Amino acid sequence: MNDETQEHHDEDAPVQEARLWQDNGWTARVIKNEDDEGWAVAMYKEGEAEPALVGPWTMGRDKKNPKPLDVNAFNTLVKTAHEVLRRHEQALHAKLHKSTVVSTPDGELKVTLDIVPDEDNPYAMLAATDEMGEQVAQARVRPDFKLSPASALAWVENDFRAPR
Protein backbone atom coordinates (compact mmCIF):
# COMPACT_ATOMS: atom_id res chain seq x y z
CA MET A 1 0.00 0.00 0.00
CA ASN A 2 1.36 3.44 -0.78
CA ASP A 3 1.00 6.34 1.69
CA GLU A 4 -1.96 7.83 -0.16
CA THR A 5 -3.88 4.55 -0.15
CA GLN A 6 -3.06 4.00 3.52
CA GLU A 7 -4.58 7.39 4.42
CA HIS A 8 -7.88 6.29 2.90
CA HIS A 9 -7.89 2.89 4.62
CA ASP A 10 -11.14 2.51 6.58
CA GLU A 11 -10.25 2.15 10.27
CA ASP A 12 -13.73 0.75 10.94
CA ALA A 13 -13.28 -2.04 8.41
CA PRO A 14 -13.56 -5.50 9.97
CA VAL A 15 -10.30 -7.27 10.84
CA GLN A 16 -10.42 -10.85 9.60
CA GLU A 17 -7.22 -12.69 10.44
CA ALA A 18 -6.57 -16.30 11.41
CA ARG A 19 -6.27 -15.46 15.14
CA LEU A 20 -8.00 -12.08 15.34
CA TRP A 21 -11.42 -11.00 14.10
CA GLN A 22 -13.09 -7.69 14.79
CA ASP A 23 -16.52 -6.73 13.54
CA ASN A 24 -19.79 -5.22 14.79
CA GLY A 25 -18.35 -4.15 18.15
CA TRP A 26 -16.80 -7.53 18.98
CA THR A 27 -13.27 -8.91 18.93
CA ALA A 28 -12.37 -12.61 18.87
CA ARG A 29 -8.78 -13.37 19.79
CA VAL A 30 -7.33 -16.88 19.66
CA ILE A 31 -4.82 -17.25 22.50
CA LYS A 32 -2.51 -19.93 23.83
CA ASN A 33 -3.93 -21.61 26.93
CA GLU A 34 -2.11 -20.42 30.04
CA ASP A 35 -1.39 -24.00 31.08
CA ASP A 36 0.18 -24.56 27.62
CA GLU A 37 -2.31 -27.22 26.60
CA GLY A 38 -4.00 -26.14 23.41
CA TRP A 39 -5.74 -22.93 22.45
CA ALA A 40 -8.59 -20.77 23.67
CA VAL A 41 -10.66 -17.99 22.16
CA ALA A 42 -11.52 -14.81 24.06
CA MET A 43 -14.46 -12.64 23.02
CA TYR A 44 -14.32 -8.96 23.90
CA LYS A 45 -17.16 -6.47 23.56
CA GLU A 46 -15.95 -3.10 22.28
CA GLY A 47 -14.93 -0.83 25.15
CA GLU A 48 -14.63 -3.63 27.71
CA ALA A 49 -11.28 -4.61 29.25
CA GLU A 50 -12.36 -8.09 30.35
CA PRO A 51 -13.55 -10.76 27.92
CA ALA A 52 -17.25 -11.59 27.89
CA LEU A 53 -16.43 -15.18 27.04
CA VAL A 54 -13.35 -17.41 27.06
CA GLY A 55 -13.57 -20.94 25.78
CA PRO A 56 -11.53 -23.74 24.27
CA TRP A 57 -10.51 -23.41 20.63
CA THR A 58 -10.01 -26.21 18.13
CA MET A 59 -6.56 -27.33 17.06
CA GLY A 60 -5.69 -27.10 13.40
CA ARG A 61 -4.86 -30.07 11.18
CA ASP A 62 -1.21 -29.98 12.22
CA LYS A 63 -2.29 -30.59 15.86
CA LYS A 64 0.06 -27.79 16.92
CA ASN A 65 -1.50 -24.52 15.79
CA PRO A 66 -5.08 -23.29 16.26
CA LYS A 67 -7.73 -23.63 13.61
CA PRO A 68 -8.10 -20.22 11.88
CA LEU A 69 -11.15 -18.12 12.73
CA ASP A 70 -13.78 -17.82 10.00
CA VAL A 71 -17.01 -15.89 9.54
CA ASN A 72 -19.25 -18.73 10.77
CA ALA A 73 -17.15 -19.35 13.89
CA PHE A 74 -16.99 -15.62 14.61
CA ASN A 75 -20.77 -15.20 14.27
CA THR A 76 -21.37 -18.17 16.58
CA LEU A 77 -18.92 -16.74 19.12
CA VAL A 78 -20.63 -13.33 19.00
CA LYS A 79 -24.03 -14.94 19.55
CA THR A 80 -22.72 -17.02 22.47
CA ALA A 81 -20.89 -14.08 24.09
CA HIS A 82 -23.99 -11.87 23.72
CA GLU A 83 -26.08 -14.57 25.42
CA VAL A 84 -23.56 -14.88 28.28
CA LEU A 85 -23.71 -11.11 28.85
CA ARG A 86 -27.51 -11.18 28.76
CA ARG A 87 -27.60 -13.93 31.40
CA HIS A 88 -25.16 -11.99 33.59
CA GLU A 89 -27.36 -8.89 33.31
CA GLN A 90 -30.44 -10.92 34.19
CA ALA A 91 -28.68 -12.46 37.20
CA LEU A 92 -27.52 -9.04 38.42
CA HIS A 93 -31.00 -7.61 37.95
CA ALA A 94 -32.52 -10.52 39.89
CA LYS A 95 -29.99 -9.98 42.69
CA LEU A 96 -30.69 -6.24 42.95
CA HIS A 97 -34.46 -6.21 42.35
CA LYS A 98 -36.82 -8.45 44.28
CA SER A 99 -40.58 -8.43 44.74
CA THR A 100 -43.39 -10.24 46.49
CA VAL A 101 -47.14 -9.81 46.87
CA VAL A 102 -49.02 -9.58 50.17
CA SER A 103 -52.74 -9.56 50.85
CA THR A 104 -54.23 -6.83 53.04
CA PRO A 105 -57.83 -6.00 53.97
CA ASP A 106 -57.66 -3.29 51.26
CA GLY A 107 -56.41 -5.66 48.57
CA GLU A 108 -53.10 -6.98 47.34
CA LEU A 109 -49.90 -4.97 47.53
CA LYS A 110 -46.79 -5.62 45.47
CA VAL A 111 -43.75 -5.01 47.64
CA THR A 112 -40.44 -4.42 45.87
CA LEU A 113 -36.88 -4.16 47.10
CA ASP A 114 -34.39 -2.30 44.90
CA ILE A 115 -30.78 -2.48 46.08
CA VAL A 116 -28.49 0.42 45.18
CA PRO A 117 -24.95 -1.04 45.28
CA ASP A 118 -23.14 2.24 45.95
CA GLU A 119 -19.51 1.58 46.97
CA ASP A 120 -19.51 4.17 49.75
CA ASN A 121 -23.09 4.06 50.96
CA PRO A 122 -25.11 1.08 49.70
CA TYR A 123 -28.80 1.01 50.54
CA ALA A 124 -32.09 -0.39 49.33
CA MET A 125 -35.53 1.05 48.70
CA LEU A 126 -38.56 -0.86 49.87
CA ALA A 127 -41.78 0.16 48.11
CA ALA A 128 -45.41 -0.92 48.15
CA THR A 129 -47.68 -0.55 45.12
CA ASP A 130 -51.42 -1.18 45.09
CA GLU A 131 -53.41 -3.08 42.49
CA MET A 132 -53.89 0.10 40.45
CA GLY A 133 -50.13 0.59 40.19
CA GLU A 134 -50.06 3.49 42.64
CA GLN A 135 -47.18 3.60 45.10
CA VAL A 136 -48.59 3.68 48.64
CA ALA A 137 -45.35 3.67 50.61
CA GLN A 138 -41.59 3.77 50.30
CA ALA A 139 -38.80 3.36 52.84
CA ARG A 140 -35.02 3.31 52.73
CA VAL A 141 -33.62 0.12 54.27
CA ARG A 142 -30.29 -1.62 54.72
CA PRO A 143 -28.92 -3.21 51.51
CA ASP A 144 -28.95 -6.62 53.20
CA PHE A 145 -32.68 -6.43 54.05
CA LYS A 146 -34.22 -9.81 53.26
CA LEU A 147 -37.49 -9.41 51.38
CA SER A 148 -39.91 -12.25 51.94
CA PRO A 149 -43.70 -12.46 52.15
CA ALA A 150 -43.37 -12.39 55.96
CA SER A 151 -41.02 -9.37 56.08
CA ALA A 152 -43.19 -7.52 53.55
CA LEU A 153 -46.35 -8.19 55.58
CA ALA A 154 -44.60 -7.12 58.79
CA TRP A 155 -43.63 -3.82 57.10
CA VAL A 156 -47.22 -3.25 55.91
CA GLU A 157 -48.67 -4.13 59.31
CA ASN A 158 -46.20 -1.72 60.97
CA ASP A 159 -47.75 1.16 58.97
CA PHE A 160 -44.84 1.09 56.51
CA ARG A 161 -42.28 2.25 59.09
CA ALA A 162 -38.77 1.42 57.90
CA PRO A 163 -37.62 -1.91 59.34
CA ARG A 164 -34.48 -1.70 61.48
Instruction: Give the start-to-end residue ranges of the domains of the chain.
Output: 3-69, 96-157
Q: Please indicate whether residue 23 or residue 2 has the higher confidence score (pLDDT).
A: 23
pLDDT of residue 8: 43
Q: Which residue has the higher pLDDT, 161 or 35?
A: 161
- Find the length of the chain: 164
Q: What is the dihedral of CA 123, 128, 132, 134, to 10 degrees?
A: -60
Predicted confidence at residue 90, as pLDDT, reads 95
Q: What is the mean pLDDT of the chain?
A: 89
With pLDDT > 90 as the criterion, what percentage of the chain qualifies? 74
- Mean pLDDT, to the nearest integer, of 30-48? 88
pLDDT, one tens digit per residue, over 82-136 is 999 999 999 999 999 999 999 999 899 999 999 998 889 999 999 999 999 999 9
Helices and strands (DSSP H and E) totals, the chain:
3, 9
Contacts of 75 (CB under 8 A, 6+ apart): none
DSSP bridge partners of 114? 97, 125
